[in-house]
Structure 1
């Protein structure tokens, strides 16, 4: 191919690329697309992360913990303690510790966890019983009178403040109701039918009880005036938020990542328990080697045969042994009659014919005495040993 041809081919390719570029430029339009990757790992680990960030934006110092172990380190003056954790295992000592902290000037906000039991006159929430407030189900309350004007937002909780024309709205769970039988509360917030927040003074401090804290979690704190209400309860103070985060336990993590090792460990533990298990009776010591003699084995075998087969079987076995040896010593022994066999045995053993006849006579079916049995056995052994 000539140089001129190569030049034309290159120009054609460049022209095609230029035309393609112009076409894409005219047809392609840029656009923006938002991809939702879900909550960040920090938001998943901390359900109140948005609440903490909101309070920090308002200039408050916010920290969080998972237990009351940090309480001795917190100065109650100008400090708010938010108890949003599970308190089912809270001890009376911890309850007294929290209340003493509040008496010294702290602000306490906690969630009522149990319903009031009229029969036992208590609930399973020790802290709620100590502040003498009761929680019940809203469905158990009496219906409002018919002449009461209907509420525009019956599912929202309204907090009325002084010098404000309109209330603040919060999204509390309306299934629960707080009751103040001692008239200790100085402020409260209600929905159309029930009360969901109460505030009462407590010596130098104050206590706020709410029916739930779900309205301050990441996904719904931005709704209504939920965020503002949390700031209102903790304004001009430092804040410590105590709640439980759900972590997998050690056993769960071990089973998730090392199931084979756990199964092997359980098997070894089972074998060890079986090995060291208590035996039903004392451990039998092995017999000393000095007692293991051939004579004892033979005697034990003879006793066993005597018990199970009887005298007749032993005597017949000896008689057959004697006759078998006689056949080896005297050819044609089987062709002789009984008398001739006895004579042949008399010559071979040099025993009288009478002794041979007594030894080889048929064994009776009845049991014979031990003396006769021993005498019969001795005669047969004598004949067998001489053949």
Structure 2
């Protein structure tokens, strides 16, 4: 078959199979568009005021975000605005004084009361709230009705801690929201600037409370809403930012910390480290020794030369072979004698004993006893003669 015929047949086969399959696919499948909301990433995952900052930038406002209030690193102008989501109880008195001095020159400060916590008996509100005249905080949160044309049951500040103002602060208040002595919002004059005290700032966050039902609800039962995506929240935020809006920089102090590397690894990297951990545990289990009672250590061979010599001597002595032991020690002595006193070693008999006694300055009888072989079964005489021979050898 020629290549031209082969490729023609292959192309025809693809057309015959491909056209019906394409028609079948188009008739049995439908194109559907689905929107999936992904979890926030980067700064949006830890900055609750990130959406507010993006909205202000889109409106042409210069925005700066900070984790903590650090006036030394923030060049605040007299027309700037500071949204302080950070807990004001953390601010030291010098920082509070510097912040109030800036507000007195024309700045605009928005802050919130600390949210209700587990310690409902605590009355500590920090130096900043004390300085601006906030007298008391209420631990029980309650929703505040917020009239909206298309949402008549709209409510706000359901999770905020309401507050009351002192006499001087009430005199400086331009506007307030709530009943007398039970406020959720108050705008106070301070020099040329303004201070807005809010029960909470959930409506400014990236995620806040969902539309509440028409019936009266408590803060505990309030559902969740999508923060600045709610039109009423945008209007309320724009109203609060009005004094210096468009005149200076808006500083967003969100007061939260970005997640650490360890937290990211544990919470987001589990598809990687869990299989690796299981593989490591499996390898350790395969390499581990069997479980059970501890086996005794094997007996180590004793290779001491002295022990071998002592055992050989005791064996010869036990079987009545004392002569080889004596002859070995005597030969050791005579070898030393030939090195140190060759004249005495060349003699024999009584003459040799006399020469050795003169060299060692010993009695001749003692030398003769040491050089005389003992009886084969007299172990005491053997030990005595070996002792004398070794002593004589050491004196040479």
TM-score, scaled to structure 2: 0.51
- Aligned equivalent of 2:295: none
What is the SS of the residue equivalent to 1:186?
strand
Answering whether residue 165 of structure 2 is matched by residue 177 of structure 1, we say: no
Report the number of matched residues: 258
1:252-290 deviation line (CA, Å, top 9, x unaligned): 899999xxxxxxxxxxxxxxxxxxxxxxxxxxxxxxxxx
Given the alignment, which residue of 244, 251, 270 partners 1:240? 251
Answering whether residue 138 of structure 2 is matched by residue 137 of structure 1, we say: yes
Answering whether residue 171 of structure 2 is matched by residue 206 of structure 1, we say: no
Cα distance in 2 for residues equivalent to 1:135 and 1:91: 20
The answer to whether the 8 Å contact 2:159/2:200 transfers is no
Q: CA distance change for structure 1 residues 159 and 73 in 2, over 3 Å: closer, same or farther?
A: farther
1:1-387 alignment runs, 5 A limit = 11=12, 14-70=15-71, 73-76=75-78, 78-113=79-114, 123-139=124-140, 155-158=143-146, 171-174=156-159, 176-182=161-167, 183-184=170-171, 185-190=173-178, 194-219=182-207, 220-223=227-230, 225-235=232-242, 236=245, 237-238=247-248, 239-248=250-259, 331=375
The answer to whether the 8 Å contact 1:197/1:210 transfers is yes
Cα distance in 1 for residues equivalent to 2:86 and 2:235: 21
What is the SS of the residue equivalent to 1:134?
strand
The answer to whether the 8 Å contact 2:164/2:181 transfers is no
Cα distance in 2 for residues equivalent to 1:138 and 1:96: 27
Cα distance in 1 for residues equivalent to 2:191 and 2:152: 28
What is the SS of the residue equivalent to 2:55?
helix
1:31-61 deviation line (CA, Å, top 9, x unaligned): 2122232224342142212112223344433
1:227-253 deviation line (CA, Å, top 9, x unaligned): 222221222343111122423568989
How far apart are 1:224 and its partner, in Å? 5.8
Cα distance in 2 for residues equivalent to 1:41 and 1:249: 12
1:113-135 deviation line (CA, Å, top 9, x unaligned): 288x9x99x72411011112034
1:83-126 deviation line (CA, Å, top 9, x unaligned): 112344311100000000011111111122288x9x99x72411
Cα distance in 2 for residues equivalent to 1:174 and 1:255: 31
Cα distance in 1 for residues equivalent to 2:12 and 2:65: 70
Q: CA distance change for structure 1 residues 27 and 222 in 2, over 3 Å: closer, same or farther?
A: closer
Q: CA distance change for structure 1 residues 198 and 17 in 2, over 3 Å: closer, same or farther?
A: same
Q: CA distance change for structure 1 residues 2 and 155 in 2, over 3 Å: closer, same or farther?
A: same
How far apart are 1:176 and its partner, in Å? 1.6
TM-score, scaled to structure 1: 0.52
- Aligned equivalent of 2:303: none
How far apart are 1:80 and its partner, in Å? 1.4
How far apart are 1:196 and its partner, in Å? 1.4
Q: CA distance change for structure 1 residues 157 and 65 in 2, over 3 Å: closer, same or farther?
A: farther
Q: CA distance change for structure 1 residues 159 and 110 in 2, over 3 Å: closer, same or farther?
A: farther
Cα distance in 1 for residues equivalent to 2:39 and 2:206: 12
Cα distance in 2 for residues equivalent to 1:200 and 1:47: 25
Q: CA distance change for structure 1 residues 192 and 33 in 2, over 3 Å: closer, same or farther?
A: farther
The answer to whether the 8 Å contact 2:86/2:253 transfers is yes
RMSD, matched Cα: 5.0
Q: CA distance change for structure 1 residues 252 and 52 in 2, over 3 Å: closer, same or farther?
A: closer
Cα distance in 2 for residues equivalent to 1:241 and 1:131: 21
Cα distance in 2 for residues equivalent to 1:4 and 1:181: 99
Q: Which runs of 5+ in 2 are unaligned?
A: 208-226, 270-368, 385-390
How far apart are 1:197 and its partner, in Å? 1.3
